[in-house]
Structure 1
Amino acid sequence: MRLDPLSIPYRIAENSTQIAGGVVVAGIAGSSGSGGNLLQGATIFFGIAAVGVALVAGWNVAYYRRFRYELTGDTFDIESGVLSRRDREIPYRRIQNVDIRQNVVQRLLGIAEVRLETAGGGQTEAQLKYVNREEAGRLQEEVGRRKRGQEPSVDESEAEQQTETLYSITPRELGILGLVSMDLRLVPFLLVALSVFGPAAITSMLPDVDQWFLIGPLVGLTTLVGLAILSGIISMLQYYDFQLRSHGDEYRYERGLLQRYSGSIPVEKVQTLSIRENVLARWLGYASLTIETAGYAPGQGSGARSQSAIPIAERDRVVELARSIEPFDEVTFERPPKRARERYAVRYLLVALLVIAGTYAVTLVPDISGPWFLSALVLPVVPIAAHVKWRHRGYYMGEEYAITRNGFWSRRITIVPTYRVQTVLSSRTIFQRRRRLASVIVDTAGSSSLMGTDAVAADIDAEQADRLRETVADRLQVAIGQRDSS
């Protein structure tokens, strides 16, 4: 089978855009040697551009003619390559996900990119650029059937009976998602921009006011407003018309406005569930649900190991769906001992003293003055912050699940089935040892271990940590034995 014929003009436009910079530089360099003759220079410039486009067009026509794919009895076969040929046979059992992507232009043309994600692969195994949208859906469905060992003759009515809509985002929820989404990774860029341009802007608008007294409030206010608007818009575009469906032994999702994604989450690859809620979402009674899976490559967009099952919904609804995936019971978290709270207070006190010292140091710069001592107002916040951090940490050890809770500004409750545990270990830093504390880390085959966000029972009693580690290890062996016997 071939790619869609419309992939030829689209790839030509796409590749031409990518090399446009080089073509422009070459054209300018060529026209500069025309001795000032405008007509001759323009002819050289457009001649080089035409040659570049012709080469791109020829390459993409050859790419289209030499690209073949086929679904055989056991493998997804792909033949590709213009100058050097490459033949691949991808077993269905290795394919984790058939990911479909479409941007706005591709949707108008009715074409889509298909990506094959495989177990354990660090990169996308294969890409089909581009096939008809209906063909992309057929490939996604057909590969899923063959993975499950079903005959390809399952009719549409039976397929519809296997599909159940678990979650569909509403316009209200999409608006709340935009409200509660704030990406703090943009803060450094905004701070740098405001530090460079802020003083001049204030001086021009308010020449008679000491600009240094306004920099702090302006930076804080502008940063918060900018983050709220930008991150909110990005999140709304990413999760527009989000749909999650149960389809046989996998979950199917679709999302996105400008860039449309469609993919699947194999049930057998689910490692952990994470219920996440930042302060604003928690205050409004909302949360999100993230599924960690094994085998996807980090940083591959919708093919990443961490996938939103519910981007935003009322908390009770999120917990209900989480229990439909992994049936855990009501839990009561055991908090760290109170001496852990003392550790947090010392840590925050040191940070507060650094802030006060830094504020005072700024006043030593010539022509800069101000009530630096007002920064001491952060000191009363120290015990409150320590208590809040302690209060929002905890763990629960059940018969079949280990559940941890961490974070205040962005709280995460992680549910780990014991049969999914890969390793369990306890760690004690030099500061924890002074207070007889330790942390227990429950590692799975998902992305948590790679990104440092495992399920962690943090700052619990050292002896309790040893017992918890042994309990998780013992119950892992029991769970493995039960699954092997069944």
Structure 2
Amino acid sequence: MSNEINFSEFSRQSLKGVLIISGKFLFQLLKGTWVVFLVFITKASKISSIDAIYFYAMIVLLLLFVVIRSYLVYRNFKFKIDGDYFVLKNGIIAKKNTAIAFDRIQNVNFSQNLIHQLINVYQVDLETAGSDKTEISIKALSLSDAKALRQKITSGRSIGNEEIVVEETEKEKPLLTIDVKSLLKVSISENHFQSLLLLIAFLFGFYQQVEDVFKNFIGEEILKNYLSKGKDILLGSFLLLIIVLILLSIVAVITSFIRVFLRHFNLSFSIKNQAFEIKQGLVNKKAIILKRDKVQHIKITTNPLKRMMGISYVVFKQAISGKVKKTDKQIKIVGCKEEHLDKIKTTLFSSFDFNDVLKEKPHWYFTYRIILRNFLFLAFFNTFHYFIFDGINQIYLNLLLIPILGLMIFKRVKKTFFKATDKLILVGGGIIETSETYLELFKVQNVKMKQTIFQRRRKITDIILQTASGKIKIPSITMERANELYNHILYKVETSTKEWM
């Protein structure tokens, strides 16, 4: 059974896209003004009937504006395929014409949030290296249209006016699938400290947004008194502070579990036609097609818990512009075992065997610099603790903190290394986590040697490899070895004829 889909003429997305556009616009409005509505509700008994009518009328007019605007966005959003270009016309007042060559597209993303799933449509995003956001986002397409569009863009074949035939074939078995049991292992071994920091930041941000509401409920002076007393109690009792941190840590662990299950639920990873296909998500389902030649380098990371379970995660680094956050162009695969890692590296690199390659460690100055930085941190922490807590439990804190810092220094020095072959470089690092970055030398955009005045006296330098996906640093190596590596990388870059974008 097949469906003939023609993209040679301008087409619109599904009419259901009006609901998606309206919902997104309403969410953005509510995100910025929900505090105003909360204040209105708390003061509803004090507002006159005339003011209430004006308020409700404003809401009705706002909803009407959202619907009209969304329909105009839908009507003016038209796209087609012209040769090897995706062409888009959009805009309500300011009209825009956009044409993107297929070879500029890094990946094609399918996604379905709850609204998409309810009305049975897909959002399709086309991402390129040079944009600080998604280049083109089609809010609502049927599954057959979305698959046909993805097939055309990823195949890179020119069709002119020919039609794309989407045939239903037997599904290939994915290279990696994550069931609930495996996902639980991933959740247990996550970085819960990061979740704790995010939770604390969220609580501070939430309080700042609702501070005015609390003032209306209990009064500004009473609120200040409560906060002052709470602060004195918390800072005056070290035990209470520890209890609060433990409770927040428990919430952070639970948050990590929820985040992993929502993001990576039902994850499957396949390799098709030298491209990677990743599907995952529970509430917000995503399917990503990542072209092999668009991957700049990969980073494989594990930690003690993951190592015990025999799993790692892989981050595919893509080209980014200067305006893009590095995390925005990363695609992460969790729960990878050794055979999965070998298959990924085999697909990306012609050779990746480093078993017989010498592991090169940084100069001893690298260790000295890390020890000095941690000593300064320890001195600052002790000074801060002495003035805030009057030196209470100072000795016990140092007995706990010094071994932890010593272990962290040892781990970082041990895990920092690099290995270089004729075509590939492997850079290791980490403290608690262990990371290995694989980079093909011909993809280096710029290589430079960077020295401080202290390094210059010891005849050592840092090497900075600038790639389209960011910088990779090799710290504190001798000038003799740095010059050899510098010249070799420049030679590989200048003589290579391979495409890396």
Q: Residue in 1 aligned with 2:353?
A: 329
Q: Residue in 1 aligned with 2:257?
A: 232
Q: Distance in 2 between matches of 1:55 and 1:257?
A: 32
Checking the alignment, whether the CA contact within 8 Å between 2:83 and 2:158 is kept in structure 1 is: no
* One of 273, 284, 288 as aligned partner of 1:263: 288
Checking the alignment, whether the CA contact within 8 Å between 1:278 and 1:408 is kept in structure 2 is: no
Aligned length: 456
Stretch moving more, 433-442 or 272-281: 433-442
Mark the CA change 1:437 to 1:219 in structure 2 (over 3 Å): closer, same or farther.
farther
Query: TM-score normalised to the size of structure 1?
Result: 0.81
Checking the alignment, whether the CA contact within 8 Å between 1:99 and 1:115 is kept in structure 2 is: yes
**Paired residue secondary structure (1:165):** coil
Mark the CA change 1:324 to 1:84 in structure 2 (over 3 Å): closer, same or farther.
closer
Q: Residue in 2 aligned with 1:61?
A: 71
Displacement of 1:63: 3.0
- Say whether residues 1:394 and 2:417 are aligned partners: yes
Checking the alignment, whether the CA contact within 8 Å between 2:133 and 2:324 is kept in structure 1 is: no
Report 1:104-115 matches (<5 A): 104-115=114-125
Structure 1 residues 258-290: Cα deviation after superposition (integer angstroms, max 9, x where no partner): 112222211112211111123432343321111
Structure 2: segments with no counterpart, 5+ residues: 1-10, 205-225
Report 1:190-269 matches (<5 A): 200=230, 212-269=237-294
Mark the CA change 1:457 to 1:118 in structure 2 (over 3 Å): closer, same or farther.
closer
Displacement of 1:44: 3.6
Checking the alignment, whether the CA contact within 8 Å between 1:102 and 1:112 is kept in structure 2 is: yes
Q: Residue in 2 aligned with 1:375?
A: 397
Q: Residue in 1 aligned with 2:385?
A: 359
Mark the CA change 1:140 to 1:42 in structure 2 (over 3 Å): closer, same or farther.
same
* One of 167, 171, 184 as aligned partner of 1:156: 167
Mark the CA change 1:197 to 1:42 in structure 2 (over 3 Å): closer, same or farther.
closer
Report 1:83-482 matches (<5 A): 83-145=93-155, 147-149=156-158, 156=167, 165-182=174-191, 184-188=193-197, 200=230, 212-294=237-319, 304-308=328-332, 310-315=333-338, 317-326=340-349, 327-331=351-355, 332-364=358-390, 370-377=392-399, 378-433=401-456, 435-446=458-469, 448-449=470-471, 454=472, 456-478=473-495, 480=496
Structure 2 counterpart of 1:97, one-letter code? N
Checking the alignment, whether the CA contact within 8 Å between 2:447 and 2:465 is kept in structure 1 is: yes
Q: Which has the higher contact order (CA 8 A, sep 6+)?
A: 2
Q: Distance in 1 between matches of 2:33 and 2:407?
A: 57
Q: Distance in 2 between matches of 1:130 and 1:461?
A: 56
Stretch moving more, 287-296 or 182-191: 182-191
Mark the CA change 1:211 to 1:97 in structure 2 (over 3 Å): closer, same or farther.
same
Q: Distance in 1 between matches of 2:316 and 2:331?
A: 5
Displacement of 1:106: 1.0
Displacement of 1:392: 0.7
Q: After the TM superposition, which segments of 4 or more aligned residues of structure 1 sit over 6 Å from their partners?
A: 21-26, 196-199, 201-204
Stretch moving more, 44-53 or 265-274: 44-53
Q: Distance in 2 between matches of 1:353 and 1:24?
A: 43
Stretch moving more, 382-391 or 104-113: 382-391
Mark the CA change 1:320 to 1:408 in structure 2 (over 3 Å): closer, same or farther.
farther
Structure 1 counterpart of 2:484, one-letter code? R
Displacement of 1:315: 4.2
**Paired residue secondary structure (1:107):** helix
Mark the CA change 1:122 to 1:325 in structure 2 (over 3 Å): closer, same or farther.
same
Structure 1: segments with no counterpart, 5+ residues: 205-209
Displacement of 1:223: 4.1
Structure 1 residues 219-246: Cα deviation after superposition (integer angstroms, max 9, x where no partner): 5423432322212321221111122222
Identity of aligned residues (%): 20
Checking the alignment, whether the CA contact within 8 Å between 1:242 and 1:253 is kept in structure 2 is: yes
- Say whether residues 1:5 and 2:15 are aligned partners: yes
**Paired residue secondary structure (1:346):** helix
Displacement of 1:148: 4.1
Checking the alignment, whether the CA contact within 8 Å between 2:269 and 2:277 is kept in structure 1 is: yes
Q: Distance in 2 between matches of 1:53 and 1:396?
A: 60
Mark the CA change 1:81 to 1:477 in structure 2 (over 3 Å): closer, same or farther.
closer
**Paired residue secondary structure (2:352):** coil
Structure 1 residues 184-242: Cα deviation after superposition (integer angstroms, max 9, x where no partner): 45545656869x989849969xxxxx962304532542343232221232122111112
Mark the CA change 1:426 to 1:266 in structure 2 (over 3 Å): closer, same or farther.
same
Stretch moving more, 180-189 or 292-301: 292-301
Mark the CA change 1:90 to 1:222 in structure 2 (over 3 Å): closer, same or farther.
same
Q: Distance in 1 between matches of 2:476 and 2:490?
A: 19
Q: Distance in 1 between matches of 2:14 and 2:254?
A: 39
Structure 1 residues 4-34: Cα deviation after superposition (integer angstroms, max 9, x where no partner): 12222343344345445779979x99xx9xx
Mark the CA change 1:7 to 1:390 in structure 2 (over 3 Å): closer, same or farther.
same
Mark the CA change 1:440 to 1:223 in structure 2 (over 3 Å): closer, same or farther.
farther
Q: Residue in 2 aligned with 1:81?
A: 91
